[in-house]
Amino acid sequence: MRNMADRRRTCLKSAPDNLIFHLKRFDFDLTDFSRKKVHEHFAFPESIDIGLYNVDHLSEPSKPHIADMFDLVGVVVHFGNCENGHYYSYIRKRPGTFGDALPTWLNFNDEQVDPFDPAEIPQKAFGGFVEDGYTRQYKMYSAYMLFYQRRTAIAGDQQEWVVSPQTQPPQVEVPLPIRHDIELTNDTFIREYCLFDPHHSAFVRHLHSASQKISNGSCSETHEYESRAIDILLAHLGRIVWRQQTTGIFDEFLTHLRRTVLSCEMCCSTVLQWLAKDEEALYNLLLRCPHSNVRSQMRSFVVDCLRVLQATDAYVYITTADSDWASYADGETGVLVPIAKRLALLAENSAKISRAWDDLYLLLTQIAELGHLETAALLDTGLLEFCLRLFCMHARPQLVDGYIDFHRAFQKRTGVFNRLIGFVSTLLSHLDIDLPAFDIKDRMLNIDKEHMMYSLTSMEKSLLLCWHSEHKAYAVIDKMIDVFDHSEAERFYPGEIVKWLTRSTDIHIQREITTMITQGISELNTPYCDPYIRLASSYCEAVSSLEALKKVCDAVVDTVAALEQLVDEKAAPSGGDVLRFLQHAFSLCNAHVTTADVHEYLISQSPKYASVLLLYSDESVRDGTHEFVRDLDTTYMKDSQHLDCAYYSARATVSEIIKRIVYELGAGMPRMQLSPLLDTGKFLVSLLFELDQSEDVDLASCKDAVDRALIYQWRIEVEARVRMLPDVEPSSPGEGVFDASDYGSESDDVELLDP
């Protein structure tokens, strides 16, 4: 048996006149399981001899091969990355003009066709690095597909179609269906060109102005001509104007509309009815339009039209003027219900246009804030149930199939949910969770006229109180605080919803809210626990018992108190959020809890949180904590009944501060970072010193033998160590406090506290 050298190869028996090469520009990276574009440089020739790859030649390479030349006639270029991009082509013109020395190339980029120099192909199609001599980054554009044509086929086409210089440009008979499509496309292009002409927009505006001149500059009684002109005006606005590259024409249109429409209730009604019936206008103007200025102005215009009708024509607004609380279930002739239904449809179809959610849900919020009728109209469209379903998808996977595009938006988008959450909060503020649930469409029939509150439907209540057992939280609240962007909000809407829930008299709801907040604070790491601290602030405003308030406060204080070193800050709540929580509790206004009780709790817990926050890495937190402790003690001590508690807490806090100072000085902490801790200690020690020196008989019961020991320990353990720090001004935090005192000698018989 003999060893043979095997060779594996691909060869061609015959080749067609046209060859297409697909370059592998996209790959899957197994290291991070992601798709990537291959940007490396790849040079391809202007011509290829395919005869070298013919099976006959490869079988007997020693024999002369028959040349079979193919020339490059087209390149498809991809610009972008593996996730998105754009394709365009460089194509050689065939057949060429008679007598041309070099072939003519064209660049086809969508509707744009321009001449192209084939000498630029290496620079614009080979890929590789940018050739600027400064940066080493890949070009975003490179060849994706190559088209070669047999040279003899090119010559044959040239000979067939171009015989002499007198030959007209070659013409191929176009099939009738294709010719019809071309003519239709050209006609559409001309129409669009005319529609987008600024002069056409000016004509439409003048047409509407002329309709009012028929009645001597005011609206006619029948509004026949005005209504027709408004229809034309709004159709042009909703289909053409919003697509302009700049907002100048839209600004002129809306200024004209405001001037002519808002002064007449019938014109406002005509505008709102047309917008409610048209399937495209509001969708284009509020969602699809890329200009935020256009979306914002259109939102304001719709609200202003509603306000005009609300104030001037109740019949047109809600169909019947017999009563403000009349049922409008069949009121299709009014404008409020149709507008609410149209906006509900926009919300349900807005999954892929989340950039416009702020404008859409701000509009819905502003309508709900107009009054109870408007809120009822929105509730009857099912908008609240729709919004709650979106926030429950992570807890109820069966909902995802019906809202798959929204599910993707919730997973990928950020910073677009604040107005949506604010809208839900506004609707809930008009509802009473303790009222019996119902399933009748007309919400006005179930209003509690004494308190002017509506009931929830059974489904709304079920979604709102859906408990996520894994996260130990209400699913709606849990998702809201997850997607809410606190940095971009003036109000913390999830907190407003928690306050609304907390006012419920249902003990089960109260217990679950407390569990949700305490578990979120104590079991989650930063930054996931920080929103729950903000929720705790809102909860404290509405909670009805001091015990429940203390339970939530304990969760915050205990979590912070668990910090022993600064490196643990990453696993604890943000110091800024904790300080804001304490400051909010200090100024809390709650009808069920007295300010004195809250202050007493805060001052009794200060030994746990003060020293930790006074050493926090953020300087603003350290300084803010010093001011907070000083203000808390000063305020609480104004009432003589609280002095015992205040001084007891001051002793415990001073003891903790001394321990931390001694430890941190030994660990080499800079004097500057210790400054708020030293200043707070100095303040509290001076309170104890003044108490000890006081001869007021009313303060005698507040004195304690340990005060002198603490003062002495501060002087020895803190002041002495601070003075020994190198290159530090020896201004002791106790300097001036003990001048001419009995505690200036180390021979004093005072028992020291263990540091």
Angle among Cα 439, 445, 447 to the nearest 5 degrees reads 95
pLDDT at 617: 85
* 3-class secondary structure, 35: strand
CB 716 within 8 A of CB 729: no
**d(Cα 472, Cα 513) in Å, to the nearest integer?**
10
What are the φ/ψ torsions at residue 105 (nearest 5 degrees)? Answer: -120, 150
Q: How far is CA 445 from CA 33, 369, 681, in A?
A: 57, 20, 63
User: Could you give the CA distance from residue 31 to residue 660 in angstroms, rounded to a whole number?
Assistant: 47
Are 438 and 455 a contacting pair, CB within 8 Å?
Answer: yes
pLDDT at 102: 79
Q: Average pLDDT of each block of 10 consecutive residues along the chain (755 residues)?
A: 68 90 89 86 94 86 87 96 92 77 88 92 92 78 96 87 62 86 92 89 89 75 86 93 91 92 90 94 95 95 94 68 38 78 96 94 96 91 95 93 93 92 96 85 73 88 93 93 86 94 92 93 77 91 91 89 58 80 91 90 91 89 93 87 87 91 85 88 91 85 88 88 64 43 39 38
Chain length of the chain: 755
Structure tokens at 589: 């206004």
Q: What is the pLDDT of residue 65?
A: 83
Angstrom distance (rounded) from CA 147 to CA 548: 75
Q: Tell me, letter by letter, the H, E, C secondary structure of 357-426.
A: HHHHHHHHHHHHCCCHHHHHHHHHCCHHHHHHHHHHCCCCHHHHHHHHHHHHHHHHCCCCCHHHHHHHHH
User: CA-CA distances (angstroms) from residue 677 to 390, 626, 661?
Assistant: 47, 7, 8
Q: What are the angstrom distances between the C-alpha of 133 and each of 123, 126, 340?
A: 14, 17, 59
**What pLDDT is recorded for position 118?**
94
**In 10 A of CB 696, how many CB atoms?**
8
Closest CA to 521 of 549, 548, 560: 560
How far CA 324 is from CA of 68, 368, 371, 682, in Å, comes to: 88, 16, 11, 65
Burial class (CB in 10 A: 0-12, 13-18, 19+), 753: middle
CB atoms near residue 251 (< 10 Å) = 14
Residue type for position 382:
G
| Domain chopping of the chain, boundaries | 18-164, 193-381, 382-505, 508-561+572-580, 594-755
What's the pLDDT at 699?
84
Residue 345: other Cβ atoms inside 10 A: 14
- Indicate the burial class of 539 (C-beta count within 10 angstroms; 0-12, 13-18, 19 or more): buried
3-state helix, strand, coil in the chain (%, to 5): 55, 10, 35
- Cβ–Cβ under 8 Å, residues 572 and 559: yes
- Say what the pTM is: 0.74
pLDDT for res 549: 92
Phi–psi pair at 400, nearest 5 degrees:
-65, -40
pLDDT of amino acid 255: 93
* pLDDT computed for residue 748 by the predictor: 39
**Secondary structure of 473-498 as H, E, C letters:** EEHHHHHHHHHCCHHHCCCCHHHHHH
Residues 6+ apart with CB under 8 A from 91: 73, 74, 105, 106, 108
CA distance 221 to 404: 50
Q: Spell out the alpha helix ranges (H) of 292-356.
A: 292-312, 314-318, 336-348
Query: Residue 170 has what pLDDT?
Result: 65
- Give the sign of the dihedral formed by CA 563, CA 569, CA 574, CA 580: positive
Q: Which helix (H) or strand (E) holds 59?
A: helix 55-59
Which two three-digit tokens encode residue 185? 């496309």
Bridge partners (DSSP) of residue 27 are 36
Q: Specify the 3-state DSSP secondary structure of 105.
A: strand
Q: Which spans in 90-175 are helix H? A: 121-125, 151-161
CATH classification (class only), 18-164: alpha beta
Closest CA to 540 of 505, 576, 504, 582: 582
> What is the model's pLDDT at position 101?
65
